[in-house]
């Protein structure tokens, strides 16, 4: 029995189940369906790293290239002590659908290293990052596979990685990696791109549901990059009231509303949002069940599941995190009329601006932040309405609708290229 519960919590099985549901509705060619259920290619590597104490520690890493029929693979690199190959496979699959949905010429990929970066020095992180590139460099590149930052990786780590790749190639190659610091070819607008893309989809969802965002209440679970920017931008652009936010150590609630920028400064100073000002403590579990207009799950996978989906009271769920809602919860939320903006639509702003960065790298001309946001708005708004049209046509939930749009484009490319 415990083994069965473990199987059900496997994120890659969630990804396959979501694909299966869409494939059945759209009557997907069985051969295409079979190909799309599994990664096209995956690499498992060992990375020896000289630690500060003089000892060598061996780390395990992965790079999964899920499907490249529409272009080079694209996907972040995660550093996490509990990283698994199935998590990387799931995220590579979701990235395949994400880039297809926003209609950028990429396939899906993902990478990860099992490590605890919080317990490593900057020197150790640099040696690990260079070692990871040494292990995978032959399968990545601007025309093959373009990594980016993800969980516990950042622009500095990307800078080390692009430098290592460039040394191996013998010339500077900024287009191999996105999410770089701006002086090394990074793009304006990349820092808040994930949240900004989500903000555009929330705006469109609110129009669809006739919700006035100026008077809306918002709760954010997970106050990292995406979550903090989601809160800040919701207040700045819409005038929404942020009533609750949380991180791994707990949450805070205020019926009068929070100042999200002040909360972020408090977290940067103390390491957590807890004990901020005149607020009430709230658990992550209770935050998810608040009666709010917009709920942003912005932390980890599976937080909205069969156990709590019946108690969710939000009108809109904007999935800034990857895989925060399980397939079982999706069915419950759909029956209850809760409007979900699925992860690979809602959080596609990050990869879209990564695409813009890659384009700028390739032709050596860089855009202003205003130009980036304008182009991002166009991409995200079109993707939302493509999904909404499928939602209406097939009479399915928004996640299944997004799958139908994305998978249809991948399937068409596979047929045109003669893969099936």
What's the sign of the alpha-carbon dihedral 143, 141, 74, 90? positive
- The three-class DSSP label of residue 239 is coil
For 86, residues 6+ apart whose C-beta sits below 8 A from its C-beta are 10, 11, 12, 13
Query: Which DSSP letter does residue 388 get?
Result: H
- What single DSSP character describes residue 54? S
Contact by Cβ (8 Å): 19, 13: no
Structure token digits, residue 249: 């150590």
Catalytic one of 110, 235, 241, 315: 110
The three-state DSSP-derived secondary structure of 169-195 is HCCCCHHHCCCCCHHHCCCCCCCCHHH
Sign of CA dihedral 325, 330, 334, 336: negative
Query: Which residue(s) pair with 57 in the sheet?
Result: 49
> In 3D, which of 263, 196, 261, 274 has the Cα closest to residue 230?
196
Pairing of strands 56-67, 107-114: antiparallel
Strand partners, 294: 218, 316
Using an 8 Å Cβ cutoff, are 360 and 182 in contact?
no
Specify whether 110 is catalytic. Answer: yes
- Cα dihedral sign, 6-11-16-19: positive
Residue 326 contacts by C-beta under 8 Å, 6 or more apart in sequence?
14, 302, 304, 305, 306
Q: Specify which residues 318 forms β-bridges with.
A: 341
3-state secondary structure of 94: helix
* Separation between Cα atoms, residue 349 and residue 90, nearest integer Å: 19
- Catalogue the active-site residues: 110
């Amino acid at each position: 029995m415990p083994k069965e519960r473990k199987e059900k919590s496997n994120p890659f099985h969630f990804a396959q189940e979501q694909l299966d549901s869409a494939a059945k509705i759209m009557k997907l060619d069985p051969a295409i369906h079979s190909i799309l259920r599994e990664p096209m290619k995956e690499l498992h590597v060992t990375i020896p790293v000289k630690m500060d104490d003089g000892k060598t520690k061996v780390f395990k890493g992965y790079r999964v290239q899920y499907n490249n029929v529409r272009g080079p693979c694209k996907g972040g690199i995660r550093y996490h002590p509990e990283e698994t190959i199935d998590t990387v496979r799931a995220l590579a699959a979701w990235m395949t659908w994400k880039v297809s949905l926003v209609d950028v010429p990429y396939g899906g990929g993902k990478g990860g290293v099992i490590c605890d970066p919080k317990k490593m020095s900057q020197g150790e992180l640099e040696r690990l990052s260079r070692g990871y590139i040494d292990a995978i460099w032959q399968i990545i590149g601007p025309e093959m596979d373009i990594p980016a930052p993800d969980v516990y990786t950042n622009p500095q780590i990307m800078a080390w990685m692009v430098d290592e790749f460039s040394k191996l190639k013998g010339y500077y190659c900024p287009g191999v990696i996105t999410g770089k610091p701006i002086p090394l070819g990074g793009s304006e607008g990349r820092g808040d791109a994930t949240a900004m893309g989500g903000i555009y989809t929330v705006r469109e969802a609110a129009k669809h549901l006739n919700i006035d965002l100026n008077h809306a209440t918002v709760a954010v679970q997970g106050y990292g990059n995406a979550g903090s920017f989601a809160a800040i931008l919701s207040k700045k652009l819409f005038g929404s009231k942020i009533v609750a936010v949380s991180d791994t150590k707990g949450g805070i609630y205020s019926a009068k509303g929070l100042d999200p920028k002040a909360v972020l400064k408090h977290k940067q100073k103390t390491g957590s949002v807890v004990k901020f000002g005149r607020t009430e403590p709230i658990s992550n579990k209770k935050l998810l069940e608040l009666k709010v207009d917009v709920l942003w799950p912005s932390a980890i996978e599976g937080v909205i599941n069969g156990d709590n989906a019946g108690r969710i009271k939000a009108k809109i769920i904007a999935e800034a995190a990857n895989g925060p809602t399980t397939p079982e919860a999706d069915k419950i939320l759909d029956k209850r009329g809760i409007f979900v903006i699925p992860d690979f639509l809602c959080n596609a702003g990050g990869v879209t601006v990564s695409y813009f960065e890659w384009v700028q790298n390739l032709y050596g001309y860089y855009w202003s932040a205003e130009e980036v946001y304008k182009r991002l708005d166009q991409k995200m708004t079109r993707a939302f309405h493509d999904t909404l049209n499928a939602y209406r046509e097939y009479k399915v939930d928004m996640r299944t609708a997004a799958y139908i749009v994305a998978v249809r484009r991948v399937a068409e490319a596979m047929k045109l290229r003669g893969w099936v």
